[in-house]
Amino acid sequence: MHLYRIPRRLTWLFFCTAIAGVLTACSGEQQGAVTQSVIASDQRVYQWKMITSWPKNLPALGTSPEYFAGIVEKMSNGRMRIRVYGANELVGGLEVFDAVSQGVAEIGHTGAYYWQGKIPGTPFFSSIPFGMTSYEQNAWLRFGGGNELWREIYAPFNLIPVRGGNSGVQMFGWFNREINSLRDLQGLKMRIPSLGGEVFRRAGGVPVTMQVSEVFTALQTGALDATEFVSPYNDLAAGYHTVADYYYYPGWHEPGSTLETIFNKSAFEALPEDLQAILMAGTEVMNQLLLDELTAKNNEALRVLVDDYDVQLRKLPDDVLLELRRLSDEVVLELAQSDETTARIYQSWKRFKDGVMNYNRIAEEAFIEARNLPAK
């Protein structure tokens, strides 16, 4: 049988290719072995602190950080242990940003809009009045350029921000008087932060910034006439129904509030890469968990408030909502013009919002309208 003779040039090529393959395989195995060796050799137990802006055991907002700490410890096989502190246990609820920046704690769980006085553009990474819903906001952060802008503005403060939950569309809040027209907002003292507070001020109200732990007493004593918080599940637990009569919706001021997990940048980057990845994965789990829990629990909590405690559930009149929307557009546009960085954030946010709203008119909105059609 005649054997085909392979040209010498091709023989040399096959030989070199085979050797290269062997070297690559060996290199990959060696690199993997080195990586495993590094991980195996770093068996230190990291003891970190996590501070929050919420009361320690508040459902969803207060309990999600505890879940985050637990799942991170399990995924790290005990190498990363996180102790969670509620508001005022280590620092005040409105001191989280500075405390994590300075290394008082390595992690914080809070809301970006609290820091507008330091960084004008932060409300875009929390919630904008008449802005995006929870899943629209999540999509902008993850796929629309939001995360990159967020990290850019926090970097000078030695912080890494990550989404850490979303409330969904909130309630407008608790009131000790009925709101039948814009006149009823005049002089009304309400705990309402960020841009929503500025819109409320222009509508004639008196916005008050106050950490959550102080609100109940302020309502009880008359220091506040009203307060926004989150939604029925949290509000029932906070007991606001015992000190206010009227519960108003919709939450125009916070249609999809992102909560933030912030890491001290120096401490985070000093960690082994596997622990960095575990922490980031944990924040993603917490982000979805918090929204899921509120979505699941709000309906029953609202039923309890209305049926068991005779809370007066009210929708804001259309003329009030239209004026609040007009004022919101005015406030947001003014914010966008405050500096070059905020302008870039606004442009990214607005471009994404316009696009997703255009699609949702024939998707979510059209479906909900169809689902709510009365049966013949």
Crossing angle of the two packed helices 318-336 and 340-360, in degrees rounded to 10: 140
Q: Which of 92, 67, 63, 97 is nearest to 82 (CA)?
A: 67
Domains belonging to the chain, first-starting first, are: 46-167+257-294 (3.40.190.170), 173-254+305-361 (3.40.190.10)
User: Percentage of the chain surpassing pLDDT 70?
Assistant: 89
Would you state the structure tokens that stand for residue 201, as one six-digit string?
């001020």
Higher-pLDDT residue of 212 and 83 is 83
Contacts of residue 350, Cβ cutoff 8 Å, sequence gap at least 6:
336
pLDDT, tens digit (0-9, with 9 covering 90-100), for 88-116? 999 999 999 999 999 999 999 999 999 99
Q: Average pLDDT in the 143-169 region?
A: 97
Work out whether strand 246-249 and strand 312-315 pair parallel, antiparallel, or are unpaired.
parallel
Read off the pLDDT band of 16 (50, 70, 90).
very low
Read off the pLDDT band of 170 (50, 70, 90).
very high
Which stretch of 26-35, 98-107, 288-297, 307-316 has the lowest confidence by average pLDDT?
26-35
pLDDT (0 to 100) of residue 209: 87
Q: Is the pLDDT of residue 79 over 70?
A: yes
d(CA 3, CA 134): 70
Q: How far is CA 184 from CA 181, 226, 254, 343, in A?
A: 6, 12, 21, 34
